[in-house]
Structure 1
Amino acid sequence: MLRRDSDLLILDEPSSGLDAEAEHEVHTRIAALRSGRTSVLVSHRLGSIRHADMLAVLQDGVFAEVGRHDELMARNGLYARLFRLQASGYRDPIDSTTGG
């Protein structure tokens, strides 16, 4: 249970193993709980953290990149590569017979 007066909230993969609807509900509720607090959210699901004030990408235990989602995407580095890789799994494959 979360104490109402706590200033720091640390969440490690809070939606792992959930279906899409449950994951959405968890992140919606977490966003409300995080309001006005410092929070650390650890996740491999980059879509669920893209709206964070600051993202830190770890590679081999070292900060590889730090910034906001749009900044990291513009740098076209590790975060952008991983984000695009995950996002590609949600796109329909291109039909070579129709071009779309």
Structure 2
Amino acid sequence: MYTYGIVMFFVCPGTQFREDPVFAVKQLFTPVYPYCYRLYGPGKWPGARHAIDTAYDRMVASFRTRSASRETSSRTSLGKNLMLLMIVVFAACIAFFAF
């Protein structure tokens, strides 16, 4: 098992860069997923590459379980109106005292 690990450490990256350089670079700069261990060797899984390609999409999809409401409440409208009124009063005071 020890020698197999050494061989896989040196052989697999070279094999990946020769077969599919885009996927190899993607795998090099993304997090290590458990599926990476199923690309080569004993226990090889044919769906491992697809699982690695779609792992980020599946992670993002779990955060998009519900959509945010687009309706504004009366409290939000009141806050916006008060802020606008304060800006107008502040600008009027500056204009009055500046000249």
- What band does the TM-score fall into relative to the shorter chain? under 0.3
Q: Relative CO higher for 1 or 2, CA cutoff 8 Å, sep ≥ 6?
A: 1
Higher helix proportion (structure 1 or 2): 2
TM-score, length-normalised on structure 2?
A: 0.25
Higher strand proportion (structure 1 or 2): 1
